Each structure stands twice: as C-alpha cells, then as structure tokens.
Amino acid sequence: MGTWQRLLLCGGVSFLRGGGIPVPLRGSRSLVCRRQLSGADREILKQRRTQIMSRGLPKQKPIEGVKQVIVVASGKGGVGKSTTAVNDSSKAIGLLDVDVYGPSIPKMMNLKGNPELSQNNLMRPLLNYGIACMSMGFLVEDTTPVVWRGLMVMSAVEKLLRQVDWGQLDYLVVDMPPGTGDMQLSVSQNIPISGAVIVSTPQDIALIDAHKGAEMFRKVHVPVLGLVQNMSVFQCPKCKHKTHIFGADGARKLAQTLDLDVLGDIPLHPSIRETSDTGQPVVFSQPDSDEAKAYLRIATEVVRRLPPPPE
C-alpha cells in the first residue's frame, strides 16, 4: 500500500509512523500519504470507517410507556433551566433529572425519600402535583457530593433512563445538566427525543453556551423546538418601572441567528424564586399569576411544535 505517514495528534505534535521525527502541527488533524489511494483502497477505508462509527453509536431504544421525550437544556448553569422544566405543565407528565452532580428537582418539587421498587425490580418515580419525578437526588443525601468519574456517571444515567417504571406518559421532560459533554451525548444517542428546548438569559455570556447547546442537538439530529428567554425583565413592584438587568432581547437575536423561534419570555420575579425554593412551582401555587401564565404559554408552544408521536 506504499509508505504512509499516519499523523497522530498529541498536544500539537505529530508522530510519523516508521520512526520519523516528531513534527509540530498547527491545528491540522489529517491523514497524509505519499501517493494517492486507488479506488479499491478508498472503498476499503470507507467501509472500515463505517464499521468503527456504527460500533461507537448506541442504538436508540424508546422508554417503555413514554410517548414523547422533551429535553430542557441550556449549555450554562444558573439560567433557569430546571425552573422551566418544573413549571412545564400539561397532560400526563414525567420529570427526569439527569443532572447527577447537581440535581435540583427534589427541592423544586418538594420531594424526598428513596424510590420503591416494582415487582419487575424497577424504581417507581416519586409523585407530587400529579407529576412523576425521578432524580439522582432521591438516591443520595442532600449534602453528599457525587464524586464520580465519567464511566460511573454514564452508568447512573443509564439506570435513570432504563430502570424506572414510568407507567404511561404523554411526555417525559428531561432536565439536562449544563454543558455539551458525555452526559448530553449519552441521553441524546440512547433514546429517541422528540425535541429540545434551550433556556437562556439575555446575557451574552449565557447566550454563547446556549448557541453551543443548540448546535450540539442539531449535530445529533435532535430537533430544537425553540428558545426560552428567562429573566428577561425585572419590574419594580412599587413603581412598576421595568429594567433589563441581563440585557434586552439577547435570546431573540440568537434565535434569529439559529433560525429558531422564541417560545416565550419569563420575567425575573421574586415569586418564581420563592416558589421554587419552597417546592411549590408557580404554575401550581399561583396559577392565575402572570408568571404562571408565561410558563403555560411556553408549554403550549412546545407541544404545538412537537412531531406526531410514533404509533
């Protein structure tokens, strides 16, 4: 097949096969050969590459009893992703918290305790406000840090996905952790996802990561349903003056860049923080408030954009 120079990147240095001298590279990931491949050689390499890729990607398998899965993500922490997931209320819903390192759902849904096991040895979700919930926070103490390496985290996520008896659900809302790493890929590639909702504040720093999050879902062929602009405006309760603390319309500008819709705006309001901290989501504790109506409008927009559930 001739003399090959196979370049393996390692800290910006390539090692030439056959005892060559290490050569610094400038950001180029390449496979270099001294002569052009024949048609047969190219076909062999193509088939080999296809085999390797097919082994690396898990086969998607639906979650039993769940019609559609919606993931709520952000790319960055602290932008209101979990609060949005908790307040997304409609039909028969389950809520899965796959943020292994920092689960928020037990606190926000006022749930505590270990899940019971079914006759099939599956964990039964904890229930509050008519929503079935499962979280790593039910399996460890509140103050116990989860100090795990990647493989253990992936194993925990697999158990949360596959070893829970959800019953019959119209929608399973998955509260994703911040970032675009192993956990996000594991969820996206293991189960069929009907759509992703990206939550961001209007702040430029948050929008950078929201952009990355949306692009990640596109790369793994998950439809992005739209963006939610959280903490969009603060209205003084006394004088009613409105202040855009985190900037104005940042998520709208990003949505235009990504050719997406803004599903809705959530104001920065003390009642949302207070009801979340006390485990009483605003859509249940204050259903007639403007804040609750904002969440319900977003839920309606999300459902409207979902594809028909598979038969």
Q: Which pLDDT score is estimated for 33? A: 41
Q: Which pLDDT score is estimated for 163? A: 93
Q: Which pLDDT score is estimated for 22? A: 43
When pLDDT is averaged across residues 149-178 and rounded to a whole number, the result is: 89
When pLDDT is averaged across residues 38-59 and rounded to a whole number, the result is: 65
When pLDDT is averaged across residues 204-208 and rounded to a whole number, the result is: 91
Q: For residue 57, report the phi and psi dihedrals to the nearest 5 degrees.
A: -100, 125
When pLDDT is averaged across residues 164-172 and rounded to a whole number, the result is: 94
82-91, 234-243, 249-258 — which one is most confidently predicted on average? Answer: 249-258
When pLDDT is averaged across residues 280-287 and rounded to a whole number, the result is: 91
* Strand, helix or coil for residue 3: coil
When pLDDT is averaged across residues 275-294 and rounded to a whole number, the result is: 91
Q: Which pLDDT score is estimated for 52? A: 53
Residue 210: both structure tokens together: 């929201």
Kindly indicate the confidence band of residue 53, based on its pLDDT and cuts at 50, 70 and 90. Answer: low
Residue 230: both structure tokens together: 């959280």
Report the share of the chain in percent with pLDDT over 70: 78
Least confident of 41-50, 170-179, 266-275: 41-50
Q: Distance between CA 210 and CA 213 in Å, rounded?
A: 5
Q: To the nearest whole number, what is the mean pLDDT of the chain?
A: 80
When pLDDT is averaged across residues 296-302 and rounded to a whole number, the result is: 92
When pLDDT is averaged across residues 126-148 and rounded to a whole number, the result is: 88
Q: For residue 235, report the phi and psi dihedrals to the nearest 5 degrees.
A: -110, 125
Q: Do 87 and 295 touch, CB atoms closer than 8 A?
A: yes
Q: Is the pLDDT of residue 21 over 70?
A: no
Instruction: List, in order, residues 6 or more apart from 137 with CB less than 8 Å away.
Output: 97, 103, 104, 105, 106, 107
When pLDDT is averaged across residues 187-203 and rounded to a whole number, the result is: 92
Antiparallel, parallel or unpaired: β 234-235 and 242-243: antiparallel
Q: Which pLDDT score is estimated for 94? A: 93
Least confident of 50-64, 89-103, 207-221: 50-64
Q: Which pLDDT score is estimated for 251? A: 87
Read off the pTM: 0.75
Q: Distance between CA 301 and CA 309 in Å, rounded?
A: 16
Burial class (CB in 10 A: 0-12, 13-18, 19+), 259: exposed
Q: Which pLDDT score is estimated for 279? A: 92
Kindly indicate the confidence band of residue 77, based on its pLDDT and cuts at 50, 70 and 90. Answer: very low
Q: Do 195 and 67 touch, CB atoms closer than 8 A?
A: no
